[in-house]
Amino acid sequence: MSAKAAKWIFYLGTLISLVLFLGLTVDTHRQIKTLTHTDKLSEQVVAGKRVWQKYNCNDCHTILGFGSYYAPDMTKVYWRRGSEGIKAVVRTPERFTTWRKMPHLGLTDLELQDLVAFLQWVSEIDTQDWPPQDQKLRAAAGRAVALGVSPGATLFQEKGCFACHRLYGTGGMLGPELTHVGSRRTYETIERILTDPRSVNPQATMPTPPLSHEERDELGRFLAGMK
């Protein structure tokens, strides 16, 4: 190869790649508005992102698959735990961890609200169906929750029940699987558990879920119907 040809490879190779890359960057900026629905990128979401950075969450958790690999990915955590579930874990991590610990970060209630808003916004980014494990969850939970067919099912997601309980094999391992709970427990028993978990089983470690009277009724009817 001549020295001249070598120079041509350098200049052409660099230029082609650079032009393509910058061109697609411009186009990405155009499309990302829809893909990340920037219309929902509220001030609260941005404040939540600052909270996310302030506590260096990303050096244990991945988000969009980036960051550190010490703790679960946060891209779709809103699907998995809902807003109350996320808050519960951040407030009292020792209740949700066994042999790998999460620190007490000491977020204020306002910071926690913002963080949840941020994570909810992130969960709606179009990630080409990544990550696979949460797509499985969504498919399973979708039968009960995602379509919003029942307000009780939405509450199950929103109030963070998935943090400890499983439906269709997905969810947390701390509490019992609830896919067929309706064939084991009556509506009345379930409502008693939701009012005070220890009223049925004095050894129960389940916290009393933050539910209004109407919400308890909706959630109870949803669970009693899971047969």
Partner 1 sequence: MVLAYPSQRVAYPYFVVALFLFILQVIVGIWLASSYAFTMPQGLVDILPFSTTRAIHTNLLVLWLLLGFMGSTYFMVPEETERDLFSPTLAYVQLALLVGTGVAALTGFVFGWTKGRPLLEIPHPLDYLVVGGALIFLLNIGMTMLRARRWTVTQGSLLGGLVFLAVMYLFNLPFYANLSIDWYYWWWVIHLWVEGAWELVAAALTAWILMKITGVPRETVEKWLYVELGLFLFTGIAGTGHHYYWLGAPKYWLWVGGFFSALEPVPIILMLVDAWHYIQNRRGQLNGRLVFTFATGMAILHLVGAGFWGFAHTLPPINYYTHGSQVTVAHGHIAFFGAYVLLNLMFFYYAMPKLKGLASYDERRGTLAFWWLSLAMLGMTLAFSVAGVLQTYVERVMGLGYMTAQAQMRFWFTILAVLGLTLLAGVVLTVVDLLTLRPAPPAKASA
Q: Which of 123, 130, 177, 187 binds partner 1 (CB under 8 A)?
A: 130
| Subset of residues 29 to 68 that bind partner 1, contact rule: CB under 8 A | 29, 31-32, 35-36, 38, 41, 46, 49-50, 52-60, 62-68
Cβ contact 198:79 at 8 Å: no
Least Å distance, CB 118 to partner 1, is 8
Q: Within 10 Å of residue 71's Cβ, how many Cβ atoms?
A: 16
Nearer to partner 1, 102 or 211 (CB): 102
Nearer to partner 1, 99 or 109 (CB): 99
| Subset of residues 173 to 192 that bind partner 1, contact rule: CB under 8 A | 173
How far is C-alpha 221 from the geometric centre of its chain's CA atoms? 25
| Subset of residues 64 to 83 that bind partner 1, contact rule: CB under 8 A | 64-73
Q: Which of 13, 176, 207, 210 binds partner 1 (CB under 8 A)?
A: 13
Build a one-symbol-per-residue string for 99-118: x at contacts with partner 1 by CB under 8 A, - elsewhere. Answer: xxxxxx-------------x
